Amino acid sequence: MIVNAEERTYTHENTSIFINGDATTKLSDNNYNTYVTLNSEDTITIENTEMFNYVYIIYYVESMTGTINYNDTSTKVGENNFLHECIKLDEATNKITINYDDTVRIKEIFLFNETLPNWVQTWNKPLDNADILLFSTHSDDEHLFFAGLIPSMIASGKNIQVVYLTHHNDNPKRLDEQLNGLWAVGLRNYPVLGAFPDAYSESLNGATTNLSYAGFSLDDVINFQIDIIKRFKPLVVVNHDEAGEYSHGQHILNTHALKEALNLLEYEYKPEKVYLHLYEENSITMNYDIPLEYYNGMTAFEVSKLGYAEHDSQQYTWFTDWLKGKNNEYTKATDIKTYSPTKFGLYYSKNGNYETLDNDLFYDVEIISNEEPTEDTQINEPVNEEIKELANNEDYKIPIIVVSSLIGIALIIILIRVLKK
């Protein structure tokens, strides 16, 4: 049976999957903890009693390039290295074969008809240029110490790119949680992951020592951040507390490397503003407790809590009580007093103006209009169907038309008066 958008669970009923002709259920057991290893000579065959238009593949750690064959045509897969990859077929079919160019590990394969459920992730590539770049150290920091930031930027129309320092390849479940959390808060451009493994320490020295154990150096982290800034050319960059929030060495490392990168970057590549979490100079307090139309009245803080809820492996940690309160009593970002996610300071300003006004990360920053989306570019979509309906609600479009008409009339009146003079 092909799943409908209203359903939150998936059934593989009427779907048969074969590897080299042998039936398997490992790719349809709804279990992200199991996977199948396939080589270039292996062929996956998938049949369904109903026609389907989409193939959704969940990879283990990383994807691989390959080809889907169907109806005497073919479609490439794995070219973007998305861990969760949704492929739209050019036409409906009830049978496909998949071949990969090299060894790949796959956890699940799902089939869908023309209507995709909300939980299926149709990722866009990382941005070409970012209004704001968030350097998050670990998978979940973006919803914890930066709780509210991503939703508030999305709701205000800013293009935000998330970049992680660590990769979590030793714990692939966290990679799935990472994507699920970003998708839940409405991000649609794929994140970038660093090559550095997750390793705990309580100082910069401890973090650099852990780097050396893994075959890396501090210079590798600095160069990574330089390359990221040159690639995305962000107007604004946000990073962790200099003291690592709760003294996590990798948080400290992330911010230390950014400060070193700023010293080494050529002037034309430098961002306009760099903010650090909890930085006390040139302070700014974000308001994440305002109801947002984009999220159907939810606040940015509430949306970030939905993102963190997707991190199943972290729910037992102290972070959960820190974000929600011990009895789930935290309803506002301002309820969090220690390591408040609302507190930032302006560490660097390209134009030398360190004035911070209106609690606006983009104060005194000129935002260049983005190019019109192409056929290959999808605009960030609201979190759920209800929000989509709100965003498309004609009641919200009418005032814009009225205001535009009034402005036009005013301009005509001014022109007539000028001509009479």
Q: Is residue 385 part of a domain?
A: no
Is the separation of the CB atoms in 391 and 157 below 8 Å?
no
Q: Indicate which CATH number applies to the domain containing 45.
A: 2.60.120.260
Give the end of a domain, one of 319, 349, 379.
Answer: 349
Q: Is residue 219 part of a domain?
A: yes
Question: pLDDT digits over 316-362, tens only?
Answer: 999 999 999 999 999 999 999 999 999 999 999 999 999 999 899 99
With a cut of 60, say whether residue 411 has pLDDT above it. no
Ranges 85-94, 315-324, 362-371: which has the least confidence: 362-371
Q: Indicate which CATH number applies to the domain containing 294.
A: 3.40.50.10320
Give the end of a domain, one of 331, 349, 367.
Answer: 349
- Which pLDDT score is estimated for 10? 66
In a 3-state reduction of DSSP, which class is residue 131? coil
Residue 211 domain boundaries: 132-349
- Which pLDDT score is estimated for 9? 56
Residue found under tokens 């479940």: 173
- Which pLDDT score is estimated for 404? 37
Give the end of a domain, one of 50, 82, 112.
Answer: 112
Question: pLDDT digits over 204-222, tens only?
Answer: 999 999 999 999 999 999 9
Task: Specify whether 212 is located in the same domain as 329.
Answer: yes
At 132, is the pLDDT very low, low, confident or very high (cuts 50, 70, 90)?
Answer: very high
Q: What is the pTM of this model?
A: 0.85
Task: Specify whether 215 is located in the same domain as 306.
Answer: yes
**Overall domain count for the chain:** 2
Task: Specify whether 203 is located in the same domain as 234.
Answer: yes
* One-letter identity of residue 15: T
> Rounded to an integer, what distance in angstroms lies between the CA atom of residue 305 and that of residue 200?
24
Q: Is residue 372 part of a domain?
A: no
